[in-house]
Amino acid sequence: MTQGRRRWFTSSVLVVVLLAFLGLSALPLIGGLNKPQAPDAGTAAATDARRKLEAEAAAFEGILQREPNNEAVLRSLLQTRLQLGDVAGSIAPLEKLAALKPEETDYSILLAQAKQRVGDGEGAARVYRGILDRNPLDVKALQGLAELTVDAERPQAAIGLVQGALDKAVEANAKEPNSADTLSMRMLLGQVYAELKRYDEAIAAYDAALKDDPKNFRPILGKAIVIKAQGDTQRANQLFATATSLAPERFKDSIRQLAAEDPSAATGLQPQVDAKPGEPAATSPSPTATPSPSPSP
């Protein structure tokens, strides 16, 4: 993927808005993975802050030598390493946490994201596939694997991956209504098409998502992004305004900022986490906020 297309993954303006698209609930470390909080170098205060974090990490490692399965300490070590900007160093505690708590898939998702961040795409894909082996309709893992597949320049495989999961979700809902999140699957399919610049198919996917929930702002925002990328700024702005009116309060300012972004940035597959109306935000509204020290995900 080119640097320009990768912008969707890193733009700080979009971090809060991207909480709204799909299915990652309760990932308080996602901000740390997207933008590690290493203290700035060059000042005595920054040097002292780094030394303090390094000392904390060493202390946590000492505790883990005696208590290797201490989840709270593993999580604290993880957060400290992220604050130091050491994403590679976060992988070991994440692997341990994922093994200790396989039912808490957020740890595995974060592990895959960390592996992807350090360039281990194959390792990330293995983690995502492991999650999907246990639950083929896990939207979080599906999004991550779809992103990797697009990065590998296998567009039809990415489309087939998401479409196959969507078909299973539709079947599941036919047997047991509301048992699968078809709206988020359709959103992801639309984003894959948008990444591939197959804009008509992306819009069709978003329209299908709107049929699942006509008052949900996410498909409207997806359409606005695609239509802006096509150059129809007037129509896109109308959709941005509608999305803003329907979105929870915590997303409104970020959607307005997104509407003001250069349309050349609005073509990529976006990282997805969930924030349904009425639920607490999954992360701090600040894209640069330090991860919370809470010991549970």
Which has more pLDDT, 253 or 14?
A: 253
C-beta of residue 269 within 8 angstroms of C-beta of residue 253: no
CB atoms within 10 A of CB 92: 17
Alpha carbon distance, N-terminus to C-terminus of the chain: 31
Burial of 286 (0-12, 13-18, 19+ CB in 10 A): exposed
Which has more pLDDT, 29 or 283?
A: 29
Tokens at 50, concatenated: 């780094």
What is the pLDDT averaged over residues 187-193? 92
Q: Using 50, 70 and 90 to split pLDDT, how confident is the model at 263?
A: low
What is the pLDDT averaged over residues 199-214? 95
Which residues 6+ apart lie within 8 Å of 295 measured at CB? 71, 72, 75, 76
Tokens at 86, concatenated: 């050491």
**pTM for the structure as a whole:** 0.74
- Rounded distance, CA 124 to CA 259, Å? 32
Type of residue at 119? G
pLDDT over 80 (residue 8): no
> Mean pLDDT in the chain?
78
What is the pLDDT averaged over residues 178-203? 93
What is the pLDDT averaged over residues 250-271? 69
Hey, where are the domains in the chain? 16-36+86-265
- Residue 38: the pLDDT is 56
For the domain spanning 16-36+86-265, the CATH number is 1.25.40.10
Q: Which of 17-21, 43-47, 174-178, 231-235 has the lowest mean pLDDT?
A: 17-21
Q: Which of 30-39, 158-167, 231-240 has the lowest mean pLDDT?
A: 30-39
What percentage of the chain carries pLDDT values higher than 90? 55
- Residue 13: the pLDDT is 34
Q: Which of 168-177, 229-238, 275-284 has the lowest mean pLDDT?
A: 275-284
- Residue 25: the pLDDT is 37
